[in-house]
Chain A
Amino acid sequence: MTAQQAGSSAALDAPPALQEHFESTIARDQRIEPRDWMPDGYRKTLIRQVAQHAHSEIIGMQPEGEWITRAPSLRRKAILFAKVQDEAGHGLYLYSAAETLGADRADLTERLLEGRQKYSSIFNYPTLSFADVGVIGWFVDGAAICNQVPLCRSSYGPYARAMVRICKEESFHQRQGYELLLTMMRGTEAQREMVQDAVNRWWWPSLMMFGPPDEDSPNSAQSMAWKIKRHSNDQLRQRFVDMTVPQAEKLGVNLPDPQLRWNEERGHHDFGTPDWDELKRVITGDGLCNTQRMERRRTAHEEGAWVREAATAHAAKQAASAKKGAAA
């Protein structure tokens, strides 16, 4: 019996005391841990969210990985290597967190490869110049931080703890991305144009990273009630815009939104509406790079099969000879 099945059979005949204990743990802002009883829906929602978060880290290695071999200075090359390595590491933490819920990493990988689980829409956009690397650091990691800092207080302990480690590294990458852009903006005219062009291409996709608007986000209310999520999509999007506008001013770039302005009354920036139809197309597989990203992941997986089989076969031989040695 998998833990998932255990979860659902427990839910059927869960004594009210378990349900109450779960709810009071959440209400007191305490953490749910792997061996605690939890409602089946909570487990399923978390597996989906944590796995898709892990998949995003893995697919997210591709757009930046594109530039490792072309980075224009050795320092930037080293920064990119370190970043892509961190992303693989984040994927590993998150798969481990998902496994504490009874999921299996190999199975989650299959789900990704078969398109049954998603990854962040943002990674379906192409990196067309080196400025994109900086803008990804600034916008994409910035948006990820807005999303993830509150997740450090998520009600599920292993997920929250993974987020603490991940956020530390993400904020480092965000600063490095911004610093690349600062350097480029102080450089040649061609470099400044590259930065503005990258900002124009990535701004709206970055706003869409927070997901659909609240009225169109069916899972949000339950996730917030369970304190898996702490803020709504629109709240986080607003926070991101408010954080980014002054950074854009300091950098000397324009954010491509004619409706963007400070609203004194609300104490926030007003901004235009992202193209939600585009988001739907990207999420359902019809973005610029969906096919390419999945194909690359599948190829790596398939071409690596013989390596994984070899490792398994070798480990079995080692175990057998160790057993023989112990028996002798």
Chain B
Amino acid sequence: MTAALALGDDALVLSHRLGEWAGHAPVLEEEVALANIALDLLGQARVLLSLAGDEDELAFLREERAFRNVQLVEQPNGDFAHTIARQLYFSVYQRGLYEQLAAGGGDFAGLAAKAVKEVAYHQDHATHWTLRLGDGTEESHQRMQRGVDALWRFTGELFQPVEGVEIDWPSLHTDWLATVTGVLQQATLTVPTGPGSGAWTAGAGRQGIHTEPFGRMLAEMQHLHRSHPGASW
């Protein structure tokens, strides 16, 4: 069940981060859009985690070291450009992944076929904002470039094969790079050239090694559930 946990945790953690935007979005339409994306991801997380066990036990009673999400999704929101860069990287990855899973006919084909429709919308949203911010004002261009650069080092981990996810990982990476490069270039942004991950971080989130902000995020997410052991809500 490593696979269901890995994919489920990705969706759960990113959904939570997007939830932190509620009431803070730059424009009303984005309150709707970000909540909508978060809700889709939460729905995916619930299906996936339920395959691995009890969704609430898994979400609220595991400690940091037991979470299997990639480090990209746990990164703090930063400014809107930072959030959009994270969303672009992740949604292009998720779309490629789910397309392959849906076509493969394995254990995840059913849920992947549903999720891919949602993710296509997420990718569209992230792409359009990358274009608007990259090719908008001088300030938005700089902010978008900073977001794209800062998160690049977390992208390599996306393509570390996950046990039980039967897809062609090298082609997932190639397609991802082509799509992301295309969007960034159209947005007049420079495609980052640094390593997609540090040597010691490759696949680290998948092994339960996370970045510092993640523990604090879990503390907030889990405190109420943990304060009332055994209670139903």
Contact = CB atoms under 8 A, between A and B. Distances in A.
Interface stretch (B17-25, B97-105, B150-158, B176-184): B17-25
B27 A307 contact: yes
Contacts of A82: 35, 39
Interface in A291-328: 296, 299-300, 303-311, 313-315, 317
Nearest to B229: A188
Interface in A4-62: 58, 61-62
A146 B43 CA distance: 32
Interface of B is mostly: helix
Interface stretch (A63-71, A210-218, A222-230, A270-278): A63-71
B25 A72 contact: no
The residue among A81, A95, A184, A300 with the most chain B CB atoms within 10 A of its own CB is: A81
B169 interface: no
B25 A300 contact: yes
Contact of A296 (B23, B30, B55, B131): B23
Contacts of B56: 73-74
Contacts of B231: 72, 187-188, 190-191
Interface string A90-101: 011001000000
B60 to A, nearest CB: 7
Nearest to A61: B23
A160 interface: no
B233 A76 contact: yes
Contacts of A180: 233
Contacts of B45: 74
B23 A70 contact: no
A310 B32 contact: no
A256 interface: no
Contacts of B16: 69
Given A68-B22, A69-B16, A300-B26, A191 B228 contact: yes
Given A81-B39, A314-B132, A304 B31 contact: no
A129 to B, nearest CB: 9
B224 A89 contact: no
A88 interface: yes
B163 interface: no
A183 interface: yes
B174 interface: no
B42 interface: yes
Interface of A: 58, 61-62, 65, 68-78, 81-82, 84-85, 88-89, 91-92, 95, 130, 180, 183-184, 186-188, 190-191, 296, 299-300, 303-311, 313-315, 317
Please name the 6 residue pairs, one residue from A and one from B, whose CB atoms are nearest each other, closest first: A304-B26, A310-B136, A310-B140, A85-B35, A307-B26, A65-B22
Interface of B: 12, 16, 19-20, 22-32, 35-36, 38-39, 42-43, 45-46, 49, 55-56, 59-60, 79-80, 131-133, 135-137, 139-140, 143, 220-221, 223-225, 228, 230-233
Given A68-B20, A188-B228, A308-B27, 8 more contacts: A69-B16, A70-B221, A81-B22, A85-B39, A300-B23, A306-B140, A309-B136, A311-B132
15 contacts: A69-B221, A74-B12, A77-B19, A77-B42, A78-B43, A81-B22, A84-B31, A88-B32, A89-B32, A91-B28, A186-B232, A187-B231, A305-B26, A307-B80, A314-B131
